[in-house]
Chain A
């Protein structure tokens, strides 16, 4: 037997965080970054993504179901911890707690974001273009909601990469784990820049 149900769920949860969700995240932020080249560049990129063949299959199996599984199982994992950073204020213990908090924040953010973009578009309430995001992000409340949501997601992904490397036994020695800590800090800063820079473009123009 290849482990029991709990074991397999945890392995799937961990894998999905990187493949495909993490890869999708990077792709998503990159395509959105076209906004920094002007509304037309963004619209072209967005419409290219929209016109991909068998788009619904891609959306369901690469985005929707993986996030649903990872998110729901993630909430369960998050609530089985009893945080103790007040007595054990070590760096990794903080990261452990933030991984769980950012998971919950990310879930709320993604739910809202998908509702007001993908679902609204699907129901014909909105059209996918630069103006849609511009009208959302020029509202100060939603601008900050998006900034927090994006940084929460990038943190969760970057720190998740670190724990992914441990959970699959790639990094065993303290030295390799420390090295990956530095690498994931760089990943965090880089993709946060990409995400937040895009938000600023939508909110304040070029």
Chain B
């Protein structure tokens, strides 16, 4: 292997949330099997850009390094994905890195994904079991259901599906596919189902399911292979039924 082989990175940087973004180019010594994060670590170790000028180290977010936390998501050669599993050998050069602009940039490649956690709170993406006394065991879940529900539970709130969606942007308040899929997940749980109507009513409000325009980029982009468009269509169906019931009435309500 040649001693001086390098990898070219063009990184979109931003010094603070308020300042304008700019591009900086880096030539990084190649190592076998390196991923985007190990290249960024190299920049951190030796913060010198392609012009040989000393610069500030590029900032990014990371945690698990095995594609389960979602923290390291960024736009790599135009596509949002996790930098920890983006192998340099499989990427076209120069490798372009940019933050996911759907979210506020905190610095360089790091973004603030709070809006996703706010959405999860809004749709009550949990099973309420807390009480003042022991409620006993809940109803059991069918194994067949558990299997597909497990697939939905793999979401790591990475934000890739929001970044890929043409309807999640500054002109729309759509909260995105991830939260919709969680509505389906928690509505499918035998105990979570007790709040089904409430969750559906929430996504029948601002930023809810009607923000989806069926471009289906989400399902193509999700690193966890979550069947997002199946979840979205399912929430479309459930909200249609919910509106019918809440307007015309049902045998389940007064």
Contact = CB atoms under 8 A, between A and B. Distances in A.
Interface of A: 1-4, 6-8, 10-11, 77, 79-84, 86-88, 90, 92-93, 95-97, 99, 162-163, 166-174, 177
B205 A169 contact: no
Contacts of B240: 11, 168-169
Given A82-B169, A96-B166, A166-B214, A3 B201 contact: yes
Given A3-B239, A7-B239, 4 more contacts: A10-B210, A11-B240, A81-B171, A171-B233
B221 interface: yes
Nearest to B234: A172
Interface in B176-204: 201, 204
A2 B246 contact: yes
A4 B216 contact: no
A2 to B, nearest CB: 4
Where chain B touches its partner, the secondary structure class is helix
A84 B217 contact: yes
A86 B75 CA distance: 14
Interface in B228-254: 229-230, 232-234, 236-243, 246-247
A96 B164 CA distance: 13
B129 interface: no
10 contacts: A3-B204, A4-B205, A81-B172, A81-B213, A82-B169, A88-B79, A92-B214, A96-B215, A167-B236, A172-B234
B181 to A, nearest CB: 13
Given A2-B246, A2-B247, A92-B216, A7 B210 contact: yes
Q: Which 9 A-B pairs have the closest CB atoms?
A: A169-B237, A3-B204, A96-B215, A10-B210, A92-B216, A87-B78, A172-B233, A82-B169, A2-B243
B66 interface: no
Nearest to B241: A169
A175 to B, nearest CB: 10
Given A82-B169, A168-B236, A93 B215 contact: yes
A162 to B, nearest CB: 8
A88 B246 contact: no
Given A3-B205, A4-B204, A80 B167 contact: yes
A163 B217 CA distance: 14
A169 B234 contact: yes
B236 A177 contact: no
Nearest to B169: A82
Given A93-B216, A96-B166, A173 B201 contact: no
Nearest to B246: A2
Nearest to B216: A92
A87 B237 contact: no
A1 B229 contact: no
B236 A166 contact: yes
A1 B217 CA distance: 31
Nearest to A159: B214
A169 to B, nearest CB: 2
A168 B240 CA distance: 6
B12 to A, nearest CB: 14
B230 A84 contact: no
B47 interface: no
Contacts of A11: 210, 240, 243
A7 B205 contact: yes
Contacts of A99: 213
